[in-house]
Amino acid sequence: MVGLESRDGIDKGGRGLPASFPPVVKSGMAWTGKQVGETSDYIVKLDSQDIAELEEALESFKSLGLDGDAISRDNFTLARLGPRLEEVRWQVHEGRGFGLVRGLQVEKYGVEDLTMLYLGIQCYVGNEYGRQDAKGNMLVHIIADDSSEEKAAHQRHSTGSIVSGH
C-alpha cells in the first residue's frame, strides 16, 4: 500500500492528480524504493546446478539448428530452475511488477550463446518479447560510448562507463 508521496518521500497531497485518483493504492505493484531496499526476496540467485541446467538446455537448443527467436519452454527445458522462474513470472505479472535473476557469468559466454541464455530464461517469465525501441528491437546491448559528450550523456542504449551484461 502506497500513499501519495513523491519519490523523495515528501507528501505532495495528490496535487496534479485527477480527483478520481485514489489517495492510497493497494497493490503488490505499489511500492517505494525504501520498501524494495529492505528485502531481497525478488532476487533469484543461480547456483552451479542452475548454471549446468541452463548450459545443457542451451546445447540442446543449439543442436536443433533453430534461430534464437524460436526458443520456448518446449525446446529450452529447465525442470529444476523453471519453477523458480515461474515465481518470477508471477511476481512480474501479478506481484510487485519485477524480478531479478543473478549469477550468470556473462564473460564466460559468446554473444550468441549469452543471447540464447537470456531468451531461454525469459521464455519462462514472459510469453512475448517486448520491443525495446521504435525500431522494433527486442534485445539491445548497452555499450560504453564516450566518443562525444552527447553520446556519453545518452542513457538509452549507451553509457559513458563500462556496463556488464544485464
Domain of 166? 134-166
For the segment 40-58, what is each residue's pLDDT rounded down to a tens digit? 888 999 999 999 999 999 9
C-alpha cell at 114: 549469452
User: 36 in a domain, yes or no?
Assistant: no
Measure Cα distances from 31 to 10, 11, 92, 100 in Å: 15, 15, 13, 16
> What is the total count of domains within the chain?
2
Mean pLDDT within 110-130: 88
Q: Both 113 and 60 in a single domain?
A: yes
Specify which residues 25 forms β-bridges with. 2
SS3 annotation, 86-108: HHHHHHHHCCCCCCEEECCCHHH
Q: Both 166 and 90 in a single domain?
A: no
Lowest mean pLDDT segment, chosen from 19-33, 79-93, 99-113: 19-33
